[in-house]
Every structure is written in structure tokens, then in C-alpha cells.
Amino acid sequence: MNQHENLTTEIGPDADVYINRAATLLPQFLDVATDVFRSGFQNRHIAVSEKSPRDFVTEVDKKIEGLFLQWAQANFPDANVFGEEDGISTQNTESDWLYAIDPVDATTNYINGDPECSTVVSLRYKEDPVLAVCRLPMKNEEYVARKGRGVQRNGEVITPPIREGRLDRNILIIPRFKTLGRMQNVVGNLWDKVGGVHMKMSCIAEVCDVISGKAGLGVWLGMGPQEWPAAYLFAEESGCEIATLENRSEAFDYSGMGKRNVIIAGNKLIFDQAKDHFGLPESFPLQ
């Protein structure tokens, strides 16, 4: 288990102006994306294809990602864009700026009419996440994190409640597994130690549940490179503990796909109990 490295890129005046502009203009794109998102929700006529077994993409994913690329090119032509569906869309090797977008985080939920789905956008400056937005159109919720300025939910600053330090008083969030054996391989007896378990299949929305106090602990296997910067910034700016789990078996080795196994806890007491559960050392550098 590796606790994250402190990303301490200095934000100078010019970079701060850039981030301010991004934070100001991003809602314009998100409002358009939300209209597209809602128009396809519970629409049985939208086109759906399978990228890999149980990994779906809809025409809504593609349309929103295309709209974002247009928005970025029009407003931030010097930035690179990393999309969930098309990968790196621009290749400006001189740029310090990288946008990442997951147009529909939890596509399976979206297809099935489950409102636990969102559009996630993040901005990195010299590899350091500096801005992240998770908008859940079907729940009328939006979470925004900005480096050094905390997290807001629907415009209100999140002040996480004081969470119980005992696992049995907290909800655990885990991914849905294809087999019971895979789940037991990761969760084991932790299942019996927590106060409850949620499995939503909505990565960043689940992260927002932890940072807002709805859950005390989350474990994500194979968190994608589009989601990781947003998860990191939300956790950091809310005062949560975040770390990457080293691959415990070949079955959960996602490193070749640029993915990470991630744990986020509401406070250090919960984090330490989870760390003990996974049999991890007392100290570790975060990557």
C-alpha cells in the first residue's frame, strides 16, 4: 500500500489565472452535457456497444466527449485532452495542462436507469490535479474541488462530519465483482467488520460519498486514469486519507492499463484499521 506522494507543484499567478478561467467556463460545457445526458437517460433507443466484456459505451458517452473536445479546443487550445473513449485527443508536448473526462461514469448504471451516474472532468497542471468536477445530472448534484480551496457540493462548502473511527460504525464502498471469490479475495473478513456495504458501480460519485460523510471507507480496483486525478483532488481537499494498493495478485493487476487500486478513508483511524486489515506496513510513500 502506497500513501500518495504530496503533489506540491507551485501555482504561480499565470497558472492561477488559467485555473480561474477553467473554473468559470467549465459550467458552460457541463450545462450542455447535462442536456445530452438527460436526453439519453432511460431512452431505450440509444445506441450501446461493448468495448470489452461488461464494459459498455453509449452514443451519449461519445457525444459528450466530442462536445468537450470542441469546448477545450475553443477555449484552451494549448491544453491536452484525455478522454475515456478516445484516449489522448491532442498531443501538445509543450503544454503543462491536461484535461481528463469520463463523459458517463457508471455507464452500466446509466443504461439501466440508475441515477448513480455522472460526468467527471479534471484538470492537471504539471501532473498535479488542480480542478475536478463531478456532476450527477439525474440527482441534481455537483461536486467541485479546487486545489487549496476545498470542496463544494452544489455551491456550498463541504465540512465533513466527524466520523466514527470504528469500522463497525461506517459504510464500506466496494466495486461489484463478477464472482464471489474475487470479492472475498479483496474484502475477506472486512465485510463482517463494517456497519454496511454499498456497491454502486459509480466511481467518482462513490468517492464523493466518502468525502461528504455518507460512507467512511471506499476501495476501488482498477480506477481508471480519467478518474484518478479527480479522486485524488476530492480526497485531498476534503481532508480524507488516500492511498494506492499494490497489486495483491495477478487477478487485480491493472498497472498495464494505467489503472490503480485505490483506498480512501474518512479519517486516519478508519484508514489505519483498513491498513491493518490488508496487512500493510506502518509507513509507506504514496505514489
For the stretch 106-139, pLDDT in tens is 888 999 899 999 999 999 999 999 999 999 999 9
Using CA atoms, how far residue 226 sits from 16, 86, 99, 259, in Å, is: 22, 11, 9, 9
User: Could you tell me the three cell numbers for 73?
Assistant: 479546443
Taking every pair of Cα atoms in the chain, the longest distance, rounded to a whole number of angstroms, is 53
118 touches 105 (CB < 8 A): yes
Q: What is the pLDDT of residue 151?
A: 96
Banded model confidence at residue 67, pLDDT cuts 50, 70, 90: very high
Which segment of 1-10, 118-127, 262-271 scores lowest on mean pLDDT?
Answer: 1-10
Q: What is the pLDDT of residue 286?
A: 38
69-103 pLDDT, tens digit per residue, is 999 999 999 999 998 766 666 667 789 999 999 99
Chain center to CA of 207: 6
pTM of the model: 0.86
191-246 pLDDT, tens digit per residue, is 677 777 777 678 899 999 999 988 888 888 778 888 999 999 999 999 999 988 76
Domains and CATH numbers, the chain: 7-157 (3.30.540.10), 167-277 (3.40.190.80)
User: Could you tell me the three cell numbers for 120?
Assistant: 467527471
